[in-house]
Structure 1
Amino acid sequence: MPAIRARRLFDGMDLLGERVVHVADGKITAVTEDGPADLDLGDVTLLPGLIDCHVHLVFDASTDPVGHLRESSDEEVLDRMRGEAARTLAAGVTTVRDLGDRGYLALRLAEKLGVTEGPEILASGPPITTTRGHCWFLGGEADGVEGVRAAVRERARQGAHVVKMMVTGGEMTPGTYSHLRQYGLAELRAAVEEAHAHGLPIAAHAHAGEGIADALAAGFDTIEHCSFMTEHAAAHDDTIIARLAASEVIVSLTAGMVPTDVPPPPGVAKRLPGIMASLRALYAEGVSFVIGSDAGIGPIKPHGVLPYGAQMLVGLGYAPLDVLRSITSRAARACRVADRKGRIMQGFDGDLVACGGDPLTDISVLQRPSAVFRMGRRVR
C-alpha cells in the first residue's frame, strides 16, 4: 500500500502537522501521524487536489479564442483540449467544472481521458443562452419557458454534470452586454426547476446586479462572476450582497490572472477597480464563495491559472485558510462531489498536490507544485 509522508497536511479544512497518507486502488485508505512511508516528500504541505469551478477547455487562452474555435474541427479542438487538460493537471488542479463548450466536447473528452492525462471533468455542455445571446456560437440558444426547459432536458439526456445558463450578456460576444439581462424570471425559474427535477445543479452566468438578484431569486445553485458590472464601470449593491450572504447560494468568483504583456479586454480593464471593490464587499459580508478562474478565455487566463486566483483573493484581504477551503472542500460541495473530492481523509479519491512551504503564510507556493497525484498515481 503506497504511503506518502509530508511535513504538513491541509486536509481540506485545517492545516495539520506531519502526516502519512496511505493510498490504494486510487482511494485514500488512512491518514496517520507516523509510521513508515514509501515516499517522503520532505518539507512540503500536502493538500487535496485543487478544484477549479469554472473553466472552458474549448478555448485556447489566445488573443482570439473564439476565432480559433470557429476555425477548428471538433477533432482538432479535442486534440487541443487534451493538451489543456494536461497543463491543468500539472498545475495541481485535479478537478474542473467546465461551464461551456461546443457540441458537448468536454463530455467527450472526459470519457476518453486517462486518469493520468488530466483532471476529472464535470461538464455542462453548451451554455443555455438567448438567440444570438452571449456565447450563442457554442450552440446553446433557447428562448421562452418551454425552450429553456427543453434545453435543460437535452443536457440531462447528454449526461451533463451541471447546467449553465447565461442570465446576462458577456464580454466575449459582440451585441450582448454584461450589464443587461438576457432572460426574465419566468425562464430562469423554469430552468432551475427542470434542472433540479433531473438531479442536476445549475450555474448562472451573471454580471449585472439585476441579473445577480434574478439568479438568486430563481434558485440557482451557484452564481458565476457576480461582478456587479454597470454600463461603464462596476458598482456593488450592498442589499443584494446581504441577500447573497443570507442564502445557501455559492458565488463562484472569477479570480486569477498570470503576469503577461497582453492587457485585459478594454471592457474589463475599465471596470477592474469596481470589480475589486465588489470582491472585497462580498467577503466582508460573509458570502460563501469558491473560485472559478474562467481559464481559457484569454492570455491572462491560461489553463491551470487557479493558484493565481488564490493569490489574488489573499491580496484583496481574504484569509488564506478561507481561500484554501474555497478551492478544495467548499469547491467540492459546489461541484456536487463532496463525498469523494476536496478532503484528505479515508475513502476519498487520491487526488493530492504538494507544495514547498506553508500556503497559510505564502499562498503563492500553490503556483509551484512539487508533486501532483491523480487517483493515487503520481503525474508530476
Structure 2
Amino acid sequence: MAKTTVAVLFGGRSSEHAISCVTAGGIMDVVDRDAYDIVPIGITKDGAFTLQVDDPARWAIHDRHLPEVLDNGTRVAFPTSPASRDLVVSHADGTVTTVPDVDVVFPILHGPFGEDGTIQGLLEIAGLPYVGDGVLASALAMDKHVAKAVLEHAGLRVAPWTTVLRRQWASDPVDVAESVAAHGFPVFVKPARAGSSMGVSRVDEPSQLGAAMDLAFEHDSKVIVEPRVVGREVEVAVLEGRDGVPRTSLPGEIVVPEDGFYDFESKYLGGDESLLCPAPLTEPQTDEIRSIGARAFEAVGGAGLARVDCFLTDDGFVVNEVNTMPGFTPLSMYPRCWAATGVSYGELVTELIELGRAAVR
C-alpha cells in the first residue's frame, strides 16, 4: 500500500517557536514510518517556510537548549489551486523540486500565526486537508477574552477577568490599575492571545502591576487580568469522535507551588514532577470534568483536538481556557492524559492524522 504523505508544519513567528519544534521532533520520533512519509516544513522566526531535516534528535531539547528553525535557504510554496496537492521547493542553489501529493498537513504551531486560524485559513484556501481545529475555533479559543465570553454563554463557569488594550494602558494606567485592584490581589496578567505561559506574571501588590503589564504587552496588544482562583488546576484532553461525539481522557492535575505558578520553566525545562496523570479525583468529579471538556469543545466548534483547563474550587469546576493546539511534546499534559486513558503517544499521533485526512471543512 502507498504511504500517506504528512507535511509537519512547525516553528513559526510566535514566542512559542521552540516548543513547536520540540513537539514536531516528538511526532517525527513516533510516527509509523511504514504507513507515513514525513515532510518537515519549518517556519523560521522571520516567517520563511523552509524544508528541514527529518531528524527527531535535531528538534529535541539538549542541555536545556531549545531548538530553532534556522534559514537554510530553501523556500516551500503551497499549492496555488485546490486542484493540486504538490509543494514546490526552491533551493538555495537555484534548483526547484516538488513534493508531490501531500495527503495531510499536521500544523504543530502554537500562538499567533499558527494556532489562531491564520495557517488554517491558508491550508483551506490551498485545498490541503489538515489536522486539528478549523479557522473559527482556532481564532476564537486563541483569544482568551472572546473564549471566556463564548464559554460563559454556553453555560460554563469561567474565572472573572478584566481585558485591557495597549492603548488603554498607555492613555490611562491609573484607571486600569483601579479596575484591576477591584479583583483583589494576587492577580495574574496574561497576553490575551499567547500560550505556554509566555508573558504571564503573578502580581501580588499594586507596585508590581506596571512591569507585569509591560511584559504581557511585549507578546500581545490585548491583555487579560484575572484574580487568583483558589483551587486545584485540573485539565482534560479532548479528541474528536469518529461519530461526532467528543472523546475525553482521564483528567490530569498540575501541582503548583504555593508561592508560584506553572510557568514556562516548569512546563518544559524543570522535569515532569508537576504533573499528575490521572488526577486524584472522585469518580463524580472525573465524570464532571470530562463532561465539561466535551461541552467546551463543542461550544468553540472544536475539531481534532483540544485541552480544556479548569480549576477545581470549593464550589466546583471553573473553566480557565481551551487550547486548540495544546503542548504536545511527549511529556506534555495532553498526551500524558491520553496515555493514562490507554492511548499511547504514537497511537494518538496516528489518530489525529487520520482524523485530519477525513475532516470535512
TM over 0.5: no
| TM-score bin (small chain) | under 0.3
Greater relative contact order (CA < 8 Å, ≥ 6 in sequence): 1
